[in-house]
């Protein structure tokens, strides 16, 4: 691949290259890239804002993460936070800091991923900052979205008897990460003289890799809820693991919950791979993180309607706070939910 | 000073500590810290959004930058971008990534600076992300502001015969940085056995240090313009240097300019210190950067009114594009303006 030093373009040249030919912005974007601020217009809507920071070596490993996937995922992670408010993402700002060993082509790839994610979710890339780093790559993305005031789903609205629902399946991204880490270890320990390039053993596990490397924020679920006239009482996206997110909802809503182990949705590949790694698959689903599924509560009266939704499962219900936050296992035993989610500051 | 490891609090504990007791948010903030997104309301206004990234070793040097000043400056830099659109900053999101050598107390100081800046400018801290870094400190701040649609000042609105104005004075921050770098070099080369702590030689230069370490975004200028019923045709804040910013306005407006060297406002300390460093003071003002003053254009008919503004100088005027972008020197010679501003990707 061609390698162009970033210094040949300079900061403004690089920004121009990365943001040229952006698609026509949506009606809420009055001015996108190219001034001190982007200018947005939300006359009758609530404005949602979220920000996420991704650091090389902490949140991603470039050994097995193509730049394009990284950009795509970073954008999706932000969109997911807006969907988790029952909103629609509209604009994205991307701050990127990069070391000297990155080329213009690397940045092209990163932005190609960001722009593809934006295109798929109808989001305008409206600004950001591009600068240098003494070491690795740092990304900070901010997403702006919108929602009707009455539709915004906070973490604090869950009420006793509400049903607890989750989209898709859980633990798959975590198992994808385990596979990638194992192959990296194999690669690093192969004989130096080996003429054979290491051949990753991912056959049949592509789904797990995709879940980790290229998650898709669940716009479809938010749309399905809207079409079914279901207004979630509380909602959060699963970034740190089911336990951690469920505890956020319980804490902020002042309630308890009962989650049934047997109802937690799992993909077949997740179960098989967990067994291979000698991991408890329920633990992976509870604490794995990075699934970017939606966890939400709905009134009991929506039971029929929520059962009719594609790719959504009811996994438990909300209780009074004093009944605790419980996981009910297959054998009927009850355990208190604990947040052992991914905590980069502790690991 | 007490040193508490961040691992004793964990990510959520740290966020709680840093965001507890935030002041009551303004009316445009429906929900601040603590959910997937902040929720804002701007029924009759344009929404302004800007983002900036600051990397340790590139944008700041912790050898001479106290954490509190760093937080204060990072926030002000973002506010400055909103003022440069003729708007009012309202909300701030702060993403922070930090290495293991930082303590809880370091973060307290950083946030104390961010919060002080927010308090002084009436801005609500509404979110962000706190995570870890393998190496240094990385900051990414996003500011949201508002303006009447008719008031927004883009870079593209300057017209021939408009007056070019600038607030405050230029080059002071750059000279402050030179002083700090000199003292750092002295400190690093002192004899290792020296019992005497190095005594920085800053007497009489405090103003320059303040300008670099603790800039103040020019809300007062935006307010004065409003009160005087002056609507800038174009505006930008001086972060990369007067030349670079002036060229942005000329490029985006499709115009030329004549800037008069003798009218560029300089502080006495800037001039004295530039001489001491054998630097041309005009060059410092043109290319120094980090002044965070406002550079703007107003119609010729506002001449009287703009002269009456405190701390604003008319330094030139806008011309047709084909007349070039010129600096007129004290001796009458004309030079083309060149952007030699601070370019972290090139240096």
pLDDT in tens, A100-112: 888 889 989 999 9
The whole-angstrom separation of Cα B14 and Cα B33 is 13
**Minimal CA–CA distance to A300: which of A161, A151, A155?**
A161
First to last CA, chain A: 36
Question: Between B7, B138, B152, which is nearest A345 by CB?
Answer: B7
Strand B38-41: give its sheet, edge to edge: A124-132, A88-98, A138-147, A46-55, B38-41, B29-31
Task: At B264, give phi and psi (nearest 5°).
Answer: -65, 120
- Alpha carbon distance A322, A28 (integer Å): 45
Give me the residues of A, 216-245, that contact B with CB < 8 A.
235-237
pLDDT of residue A226 exceeding 50, the answer is yes
DSSP letters spanning B192-206: TT--SPP----TT-H
* Distance (Å) of CA A86 to CA A149, A230, B3, B137, B345: 10, 11, 41, 33, 39
- Interface contact A203, partner B, CB < 8 A: no
Give B21→chain A minimum CA distance, Å: 17
Encode pLDDT of B279-313 as tens digits.
999 999 999 989 999 999 999 999 999 999 999 99
At a CB cut-off of 8 Å and minimum separation 6, what does A315 contact? A164, A165, A166, A259, A260, A263, A264, A265
pLDDT of residue A272: 95
Phi then psi for B268, rounded to 5 degrees?
A: -55, -45
Query: Residues B88-98: what's their mean pLDDT?
Result: 93
Per-residue confidence (pLDDT) for residue B179, from 0 to 100: 94
Pairs across A and B, CB distance < 8 A: 232
Work out the minimum CA distance from A78 to partner chain B, whole angstroms: 9
User: What whole-number distance in Å separates Cα of residue B334 and Cα of residue B321?
Assistant: 16
Which of B7, B39, B53 shows the shortest C-beta gap to A140?
A: B53
Over residues B81-89, mean pLDDT: 96
Which single residue is written with the structure tokens 């939400």? A296
Tokens of B8: 């004793």
pLDDT at A6: 79
Give the rounded distance of the alpha carbon of B311 from its chain centre.
Answer: 17
- Tell me what pLDDT residue A339 has: 83
Q: Is the pLDDT of residue B204 over 90?
A: no
What local confidence, expressed as pLDDT, does residue A178 receive? 94
Q: Does B144 touch chain A (CB under 8 A)?
A: yes
What's the whole-number average pLDDT of chain B? 91
Question: Strands across the sheet with A29-31, in order?
Answer: A29-31, A38-41, B46-55, B138-147, B88-98, B124-132
* SS3 state of residue A145: strand
Q: Which of A95-99, A320-324, B221-225 has the lowest mean pLDDT?
A: A95-99
What value, to the nearest 5°, has the Cα angle with vertex A32 and ends B115 and B119? 10
ipTM of the complex: 0.89
Nearest to A55 among B58, B131, B149 (CB): B131
Q: Does A51 touch chain B (CB under 8 A)?
A: yes
Q: Which residues contact B44 (CB under 8 A, 6 or more apart)?
A: A43
* Rounded-to-integer distance, Cα B343 and Cα B154, Å: 23
Interface check for A91 against chain B (CB to CB < 8 A): the answer is yes
Q: Which residues contact A134 (CB under 8 A, 6 or more apart)?
A: A99, B55, B56, B57, B58, B135, B136
Residue A30 has its nearest CB partner, among B44, B46, B136, at B46
Q: In whole angstroms, what is the distance from residue B262 CA to residue A196 CA? A: 70
**What is the DSSP-derived secondary structure letter of residue A22?**
P
Q: Determine how many CB atoms are found less than 10 A away from the CB of residue B64.
A: 18
- Contact, B290 vs B212, CB < 8 A? yes
What the block records as the tokens of A3 is 């390698």
Ramachandran angles phi, psi of A101, nearest 5°: -75, -5
- Looking at residue A296, what is its pLDDT? 98
**With contacts defined as CB-CB under 8 Å, which chain A residues touch B345?**
6-7, 10-11, 14, 130-132
Q: Does A8 touch chain B (CB under 8 A)?
A: no
8 Å CB contact between B158 and B251: no
Q: Collect all residues with Cβ–Cβ distance below 8 Å to B17 and sequence separation of at least 6.
A: B9, B104, B108
List pLDDT tens digits, range B124-148: 999 888 888 887 899 999 999 999 9
Q: What is the rounded CA–CA span in Å between residue A131 and residue A127?
A: 13
Which residue intervals of chain A are DSSP H helices?
10-19, 67-83, 104-121, 172-189, 206-213, 219-227, 242-253, 268-276, 281-287, 303-307
| DSSP output for A160-206 | TTPEEEEES-SSHHHHHHHHHHHHHHHHHHS-TT--SPP----TT-H
Write out pLDDT tens, residues A112-162. Answer: 999 999 999 999 999 888 888 887 899 999 999 999 999 999 999 999 999
Binary contact (A36, B127; C-beta < 8 A): no
pLDDT at B195: 54
CB contact under 8 A, A11 and B53: no
Which of A8, A18, A49 should be substituted to probe chain B, the one whose Cβ sees the most B Cβ atoms within 10 Å? A49
* Mean pLDDT value of segment A315-319: 98
Residue of A nearest to B11 (CA): A345
CB contact, 8 Å: A334 with chain B?
A: no
Instruction: List all residues 6 or more positions away from A229 whose beta carbon is below 8 Å from its beta carbon.
Output: A305
Burial class of B228 by CB neighbour count within 10 A (0 to 12, 13 to 18, 19+): middle
Tell me which of A172-176, A193-197, B56-60, B95-99 is least confident: A193-197
CB contact under 8 A, B134 and A52: no
CA B125 to CA B115: how far, in whole Å?
7
Q: Smallest CA–CA separation between B330 and chain A, in Å?
A: 31
- Mean pLDDT confidence for A37-56: 91
What pLDDT sits at residue A196? 59
Min distance A346 CA to chain B CA atoms (Å): 5
Which pLDDT value is given to residue A343? 44
Which of A47, A59, A222 is the mutation pick for testing B, counting most B CBs within 10 A? A47
Q: Which pLDDT value is given to residue A191?
A: 66
Q: What angle do CA A105, B342, A31 make, to 5 degrees?
A: 65
pTM for the structure as a whole:
0.91
Interatomic CA distance for residues A300 and A249, integer angstroms: 17
> What's the pLDDT band for B220 if we cut at 50, 70, 90?
very high
Q: Which domains does chain A have, with CATH numbers?
A: 9-151 (3.30.1330.10), 163-188+205-336 (3.90.650.10)
**Distance, C-alpha A70 to centroid of its chain:** 12
> Among A337-346, B106-115, B271-280, which is the least confidently predicted range?
A337-346
B131–chain A Cβ distance below 8 A for any pair = yes
Smallest Cβ distance to B43: which of A44, A97, A344? Answer: A44
């Amino acid at each position: 691949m061609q390698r162009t030093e970033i210094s040949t373009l300079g900061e403004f040249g690089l920004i121009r290259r990365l943001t040229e030919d952006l698609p026509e912005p949506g009606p809420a974007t009055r001015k996108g890239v190219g001034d001190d601020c982007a200018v947005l217009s939300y006359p009758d809507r609530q404005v949602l804002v979220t920000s996420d920071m991704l650091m090389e070596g902490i949140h991603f490993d470039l050994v097995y993460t193509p730049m394009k996937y990284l950009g795509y995922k970073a954008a999706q992670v932000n969109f997911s936070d807006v969907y988790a408010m029952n909103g629609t993402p509209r604009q994205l700002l991307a701050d990127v800091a990069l070391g000297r060993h990155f080329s213009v082509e690397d940045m092209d790839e990163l932005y190609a991923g960001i722009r593809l994610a934006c295109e798929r979710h109808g989001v305008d890339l409206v600004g950001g900052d591009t600068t240098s780093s003494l070491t690795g790559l740092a990304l900070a993305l901010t997403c702006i979205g919108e929602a009707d005031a009455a539709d915004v789903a906070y973490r604090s609205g869950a009420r006793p008897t509400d049903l607890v629902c989750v989209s898709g399946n859980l633990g798959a991204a975590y198992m994808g990460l385990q596979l990638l880490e194992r192959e990296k270890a194999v690669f690093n320990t192969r004989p130096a003289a080996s003429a054979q390039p290491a051949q990753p053993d991912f056959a049949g596990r592509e789904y797990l890799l995709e879940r980790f490397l290229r998650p898709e924020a669940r716009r479809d679920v938010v749309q399905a809820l809207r079409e079914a006239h279901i207004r979630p009482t509380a909602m959060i996206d699963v970034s740190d693991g089911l336990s951690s997110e469920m505890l956020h909802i319980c804490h902020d809503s002042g309630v308890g919950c009962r989650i049934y182990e047997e109802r937690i949705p799992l993909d077949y590949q997740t179960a098989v791979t967990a067994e291979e790694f000698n991991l408890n698959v329920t633990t992976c689903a509870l604490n794995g993180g990075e699934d970017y599924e939606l966890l939400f509560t709905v009134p009991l009266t929506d039971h029929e309607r929520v059962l009719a939704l594609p790719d959504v499962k009811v996994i438990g219900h909300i209780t009074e706070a004093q009944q605790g936050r419980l996981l009910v296992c297959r054998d009927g035993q009850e355990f208190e939910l604990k947040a052992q989610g991914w905590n980069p500051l502790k690991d």
